[in-house]
Amino acid sequence: MRVLGPRHIRVDGAALLDVAPGKGTFVVDTARGTIEVLGTKFLVDGQADRTTAAVVRGEVKLASSGGEVVLHAGEQGVAEAGRSPTRGPAPRLSHLVSWAQQARHAEEHDLQPIHHGSLFARDPGVRSHPPWGEEYPLPIKELKLDIVVENQVARVALDQTFHNDAAQDLEGVYRFAIPPDAALQRLAMYVDGKLEESAVVERMQARADLRGARLPARRSGAARVGR
């Protein structure tokens, strides 16, 4: 696959493409045809003698020197030299795109898991907790999600309950990664049944506040923002 320009690529071989809508026409050139899409998920197989397009979601236009056809979800089109493009039901569409999912899983096989929304405990005695080291995740007892979507904006409330089964107080670090275009509105925690609100501050100020909170042995919560 080669990028020819903004929203314009060349495919020689097979590719599974998922095109985001609302950004104009996306054009795929192959040896035997051109595919135009607005927003869809489809499989394209561009060989030297034919181009095959199978639509998973949305619709695409398959065009060649012999004409053009519009393909809808569940349909497959074939463009060959000297013939008009043909359209018909896509046979075993899930099987056609399964190779892409298998390839993605193979690439992700060796990736290390990233723990989002985890409360990591730090033992004051700085003892090692294999395989985690000095910090280790506390077990989660309950998870609740409340999601509201309005005007293309999603507001997500995440309620997690963690359990400290150690016979002592532990220092904790809560880690949760958010996308660059998201914003943290509120962070609060219940400790021994008491609600404690946090403050959103810059990273260095949060560290200074945390060091100060350790001295009188009181609890504190800070949402650190650093991008």
pTM exceeds cut of 0.95: no
Q: Is residue 89 classed as helix, strand or coil in its secondary structure?
A: strand
Evaluate if residue 177 carries a pLDDT over 60.
yes
Contact 205, 197 (CB under 8 A): no
CA distances from 223 to 119, 172, 176, 205 (A): 13, 13, 10, 11
User: Which residue, among 28, 97, 17, 100, has the nearest Cα to 58 in the 3D structure?
Assistant: 17
Highest mean pLDDT among 55-69, 113-127, 152-166, 202-216: 55-69
Task: Count, in order, helices (H) and strands (E) of the chain.
Answer: 2, 20
Question: Cβ distance 62 to 33 under 8 Å?
Answer: yes
With DSSP H G I counted as helix, E B as strand and the rest as coil, what are the percentages for the chain, rounded to 5? Answer: 10, 50, 40
Q: What's the rounded Cα separation, in Å, for the pair 172 and 119? A: 6
Is 51 in contact with 31 (CB distance < 8 Å)?
Answer: yes
The mean per-residue pLDDT over the stretch 116-142 comes to 71
Question: What tokens does 83 get?
Answer: 């013939």
Output the pLDDT for position 138: 84
Locus of tokens 């236009």:
61
Strand, helix or coil for residue 51: strand
Pairing assessment for the beta strands 50-57 and 26-29 based on DSSP bridges: unpaired
Per-residue pLDDT tens digits for 28-87: 999 888 988 877 788 888 888 889 888 888 888 999 888 999 998 888 899 998 889 999
